[in-house]
């Protein structure tokens, strides 16, 4: 799966919504009861997009891409500095 341009990412991100009444306001897909973190977790566990789509009849391939685009936006500018410990 490839996310081509920023404009495409912006369009994909419109599929991600937040509703305080669903999962305490966590990002969800198109207002449904499927959290972005759940889809990302399935992908991280090795599930293929086809497997995920088979499990949710209403889910579309663009929804999975939207989850990836969302995760990318979150970590895009994140920097982690290593902790260097002096030898004792």
State in Å, rounded, how far the first CA of the chain is from the last one.
47
Question: What's the rounded Cα separation, in Å, for the pair 73 and 50?
Answer: 24
At residue 85, the pLDDT reads 84
pTM of the model: 0.81
Q: What is the CATH number of the domain that holds 18?
A: 1.10.10.10
Spell out, as residue ranges, where the chain has pLDDT lower than 70. 1-7, 88
Question: What's the rounded Cα separation, in Å, for the pair 85 and 46?
Answer: 35
Q: Is residue 44 part of a domain?
A: yes
Q: Is residue 1 part of a domain?
A: no
At residue 2, the pLDDT reads 52
Question: What's the rounded Cα separation, in Å, for the pair 34 and 32?
Answer: 6
Q: Is residue 69 part of a domain?
A: yes
Q: Is residue 85 part of a domain?
A: no
Domain that holds residue 26: 6-74
At residue 7, the pLDDT reads 57
User: In Å, what is the CA distance from 56 to each residue of 61, 73, 83?
Assistant: 11, 25, 42
């Amino acid at each position: 799966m490839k996310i081509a341009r920023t404009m495409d990412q912006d369009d994909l991100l419109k599929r991600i919504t937040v509703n305080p009444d669903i999962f305490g306001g966590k990002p969800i897909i198109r207002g449904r009861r499927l959290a972005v973190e759940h889809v990302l977790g399935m992908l991280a566990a090795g599930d293929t997009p086809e497997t995920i789509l088979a499990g949710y009849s209403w889910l579309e391939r663009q929804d999975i891409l939207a989850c990836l685009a969302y995760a990318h936006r979150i970590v895009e500018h994140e920097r982690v500095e290593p902790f260097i410990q002096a030898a004792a």
